[in-house]
């Protein structure tokens, strides 16, 4: 069975990489409400891979340019553009922009201005992972300093952001990762980011977990990016009336919840998708600006850094795609454009 899963993974990897071509395209003429952008850097996120595989809720008409996130510099603006000028740094206002390219002309409303004093890799990875972490920590439970959060996939981009944003707010984190050969190095890296505890999925089922909650309260919030057994075991440590938020399903297995968790502990299960949040707040620019300002302020203060990254020239995109789909990935592939 393991061999079949491995072969299926290899087939999916080959198909994903084979679908892409590096191609020269003519840059469209600049319209009055358009912005000519030179892309600087763009990451490869799991959602990008899902879109390529056709398993994501947003699918761009083909042929399409990949990439939902990244940062670019404005080269020129149309006569009707007032909020942006040449030299500004911009990121996508929503998913589906197609950021894996060197230059493009976008309508002004599809872009958000970001401070140019934010480090390049932070700006390139700003609109998805840190914003997802920020919203989940803010929107589901009223957390106060001293409260705790438990999360799986803690070494993911979102997981790393959760650790840092929580630490800046005085919130304790219990971080679950898969066992691996380099586990001590991973634990050391997450602890350096501000993690309070790092445990493996297997440790969730052991009595030693009780020792952790002698020094910190049981979590009121659980963040799930995996599914399957990891989620079920993590849920057992949640406080009564606590909330588990699912924002990913890396194990490709359903979320299994004991009936007793609902009846006797009244836990709440919620879902979160950053793209939907942006759609829901499309007319609420105050909320969007407030979130971006808060995240950028943490970056400037040194309390939030970019996830561990590997910088790859655009012409080496095949190697970057392959690396992003390997198991136990702890470094995000960033295309330099």
Question: How many Cβ atoms from other residues are within 10 Å of residue 307's Cβ?
Answer: 23
Q: How many angstroms separate the Cα of 334 from the Cα of each of 75, 90, 123, 308?
A: 22, 17, 12, 10
Q: Is 275 helix (H, G, I), strand (E, B) or coil?
A: helix
| Residue 13 pLDDT | 55
Q: Is 1 helix (H, G, I), strand (E, B) or coil?
A: coil
Mean pLDDT for each 10-residue chunk of the chain (337 residues)? 46 64 93 98 94 87 93 98 97 94 97 95 97 98 98 96 98 96 95 98 94 96 96 96 96 93 97 96 93 97 95 95 85 95
For each of the domains in the chain, give its residue range(s) and CATH number, in order of start. Answer: 13-125+306-336 (3.90.180.10), 128-275 (3.40.50.720)
| Residue 16 pLDDT | 63
Indicate the burial class of 177 (C-beta count within 10 angstroms; 0-12, 13-18, 19 or more).
Answer: buried
| Residue 111 pLDDT | 97
- C-alpha span between 56 and 22 (Å, rounded): 23
What is the DSSP code string of 9-56?
A: HHHHHHHHHHT------PPPPPPTTEEEEEEEEEE--HHHHHHHHT-S
Catalytic, out of 56, 140, 247, 317: 56
What is the number of alpha carbons within 13 Å of residue 126 lying toward its C-beta?
33
| Residue 3 pLDDT | 47
- The reply to whether omega before 38 is within 30° of 0 (cis) is no
Question: Is residue 56 flagged as an active site residue?
Answer: yes
| Dihedral pair phi/psi, residue 198, rounded to 5° | -125, 125
């Amino acid at each position: 069975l393991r061999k079949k899963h491995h072969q299926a993974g290899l087939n999916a990897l080959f198909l994903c990489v084979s679908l892409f071509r590096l191609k020269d395209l003519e840059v469209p003429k600049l319209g009055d409400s358009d912005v000519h952008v030179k892309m600087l850097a763009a990451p490869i996120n799991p959602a990008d891979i899902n879109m390529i595989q056709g398993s994501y809720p947003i699918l761009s008409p083909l042929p399409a340019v990949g990439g939902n996130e990244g940062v670019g510099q404005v080269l020129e603006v149309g006569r009707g553009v007032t909020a942006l000028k040449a030299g500004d740094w911009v990121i996508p206002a929503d998913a589906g922009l197609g950021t894996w390219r060197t230059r493009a002309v976008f309508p002004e409303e599809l872009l958000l201005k970001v401070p140019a004093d934010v480090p390049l890799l932070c700006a390139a990875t700003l609109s998805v992972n840190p914003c997802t972490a920020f919203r989940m920590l803010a929107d589901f439970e009223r957390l106060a300093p001293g409260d705790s959060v438990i999360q799986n996939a803690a070494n993911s981009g979102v997981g790393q952001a959760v650790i840092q944003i929580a630490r800046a707010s005085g919130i304790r984190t219990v971080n679950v990762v898969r066992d691996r050969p380099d586990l001590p190095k991973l634990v050391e890296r997450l602890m350096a980011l501000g993690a309070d505890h790092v445990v493996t999925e297997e440790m969730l089922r052991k009595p030693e977990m009780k020792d952790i909650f002698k020094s910190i309260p049981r979590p009121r919030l659980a963040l799930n990016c995996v599914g399957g057994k990891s989620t079920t075991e993590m849920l057992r440590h949640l406080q009564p009336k606590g909330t588990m938020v699912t924002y990913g399903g890396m194990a490709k297995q359903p979320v299994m919840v004991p009936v007793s968790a609902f009846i006797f502990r009244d836990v709440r299960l919620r879902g979160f998708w950053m793209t939907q949040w942006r759609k829901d707040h499309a007319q609420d620019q105050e909320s969007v600006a407030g979130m971006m300002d808060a995240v950028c302020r943490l970056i400037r203060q040194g309390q939030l850094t970019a996830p561990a990254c590997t910088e790859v020239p655009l012409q080496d995109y095949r190697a970057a795609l392959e690396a992003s789909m390997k198991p136990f990935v702890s470094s995000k592939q960033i295309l330099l454009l």
